[in-house]
Amino acid sequence: MKTQICFDMDGTIADLYGVENWLAYLLAEDTTPYDVARPLVKLNVLARRLNRLQARGYDLVIVSWLCRDGAEQYNAEVTTAKLNWLNRHLPSVKWNAIHIVEYGTPKQTFCKTPADVLFDDEEPNRIAWNKGDAYAPEKIFEIFKENLTRYIEHRPLMNVVDRKIGY
């Protein structure tokens, strides 16, 4: 089983919550915020790092929740909007898996190996990711340096450092 590098979308790579009146749109079952959300990180740089890692044997995975209490039709539209967003903003990344799942689905369900990494803006998701390591989005580029592969190979050392600074 390959080590997975997993990403949340909303609030992690897509600035859904930065869209004006995002909640009103969602309550009205309008997908606009998912369509127009701006990137939260430099996606061209991220794509290069990810593609290099994938070439070295890591799996790239999206684990993203649908809207809370979304009706079936709206969930389908949100799924399409999220897939479109990924295609538009990270066109060079060929994801190994894209899990767009019901709101509240435990993300650790998708954690398969002790080395799997999750990037997620929600702390409860990071805490629940109990097999591997989970990080806030602000840490993406701290971790995705040129030598990410080396970082993963040296995970135990990094774990110690990480706990010291509160993650």
The number of helix segments (H) and strand segments (E) in the chain equals 8, 5
* The pair of three-digit structure tokens given for residue 67, joined into one six-digit string: 């809207």
| Token pair for 157 | 């050392």
Assess contact for 100 and 62: CB atoms under 8 A.
yes
Task: Give the count of residues interacting with Mg ion (CB under 5 A).
Answer: 4
The Cβ of residue 104 has, within 10 Å, a number of other Cβ atoms equal to 9
Return the closest-CA partner of residue 135 out of 148, 149, 151, 123: 123
For Mg ion, which residue of 4, 6, 8, 133 counts as binding (CB under 5 A)? 8
Cα gap 86→98, rounded to integer Å: 10
Complex with Mg ion: residue 58 or 65, whichever CB lies closer: 65
**Under rule CB under 5 A, residue 116 binds Mg ion:** no
**Contact between 40 and Mg ion (CB under 5 A)?**
no
Question: Measured from the CB of residue 56, what is the shortest distance to Mg ion in angstroms?
Answer: 27
Is 11 or 39 the residue whose CB approaches Mg ion more closely? 11
In single-letter form, the type of residue at position 18 comes to G
Check binding of 6 to Mg ion (CB under 5 A). Answer: no
Work out whether 11 is an interface residue with Mg ion (CB under 5 A): yes
Closer to Mg ion at the Cβ: 2 or 11?
Answer: 11
Beta strands per DSSP E along 21-145? 59-65, 97-101, 117-119, 133-135
- 3-class SS at 75? helix
User: Which listed residue (59, 77, 116, 121) binds Mg ion by CB under 5 A?
Assistant: 121
The binder of Mg ion chosen from 6, 7, 10, 135 (CB under 5 A): 10
Whose CB is nearest to Mg ion? Answer: 11
Distance in Å, CB of 123 to Mg ion, minimum: 10
Pick the piece of the chain touching Mg ion (CB under 5 A) from 36-44, 51-59, 106-114, 120-128. Answer: 120-128
Interface with Mg ion (CB under 5 A): 8, 10-11, 121
